[in-house]
Amino acid sequence: MRQILHFVDGVSTFCAWVASGLAFVLIVVTLIEVFMRFVMGSPTIWVFDVAYMVSGASVLLAGGYALRTGAHVRIDFVSARLPPRVQALIQGLFFGLVVLPALFMIGTAAYGKAWSAFMTGEVEVVSPWAPLIWPFYAALTLGLAVLALQVLAQTITMLAQALLPADKRQPLG
């Protein structure tokens, strides 16, 4: 079990590295637009599309890593007062019964949208550049899948911490 959880953590970390690279791409693309617009007097038609696609993909690709490292915003003024095992039980149940099914439904819809866009050659209809949209949808689907895997890993970890006796608990992640 530990190897599987470690693998999921590795996938989340790898996707976070990809997201970091996409942040660099976003900076470069923005600098190109600034140069073209204000120095050359000829704005591009493609930068807006690339910028929103790259930033959207980077946010979702980094989601699993953010969950793994505890970087998501939490409102835990009530649960912070509870014993650690109760906190772990609440978090494990919430992730397993609410977050994971929701991510499954959203991810399934995203996959269907990406596949449909790929099969039909769908383009961004509100863009004068009209890029193919399926790579963006595929990146969002991948980010959702990695986040769902990380939620599953967190669910297993939290429930193990909450339900196993103290002498049987081991670090799972």
Quick: pLDDT tens for 20-56.
999 999 999 999 999 999 999 999 999 999 999 999 9
- Cα–Cα distance, 59 to 53 (Å, whole number): 10
The neighbour count for residue 66, using CB atoms within 10 Å, is 17
Torsion of CA 70, 171, 1, 162, to 10 degrees: -80
pLDDT of residue 173: 46
Separation of alpha carbons 161 and 169, rounded Å: 6
What's the confidence (pLDDT) of residue 158? 94
Closest by CA position to 95, among listed 140, 162, 4, 143: 162
With a CB cutoff of 8 Å and minimum separation 6, the contacts of 104 are: 148
**Under 8 Å between Cβ of 107 and 99:** no
User: SS in 3 state form for 89-150?
Assistant: HHHHHHHHHHHHHHHHHHHHHHHHHHHHHHHHCCECCCCCCCCECHHHHHHHHHHHHHHHHH
Average pLDDT over residues 92-99: 96
State the pLDDT at residue 170: 61
Task: Please state the pTM of the whole predicted model.
Answer: 0.90
Half-sphere exposure of 65 (CA within 13 A, CB side): 17
Average pLDDT score over residue span 67-81: 86
> pLDDT for 105-158, tens place per residue?
999 999 999 999 999 999 999 999 999 999 999 999 999 999 999 999 999 999
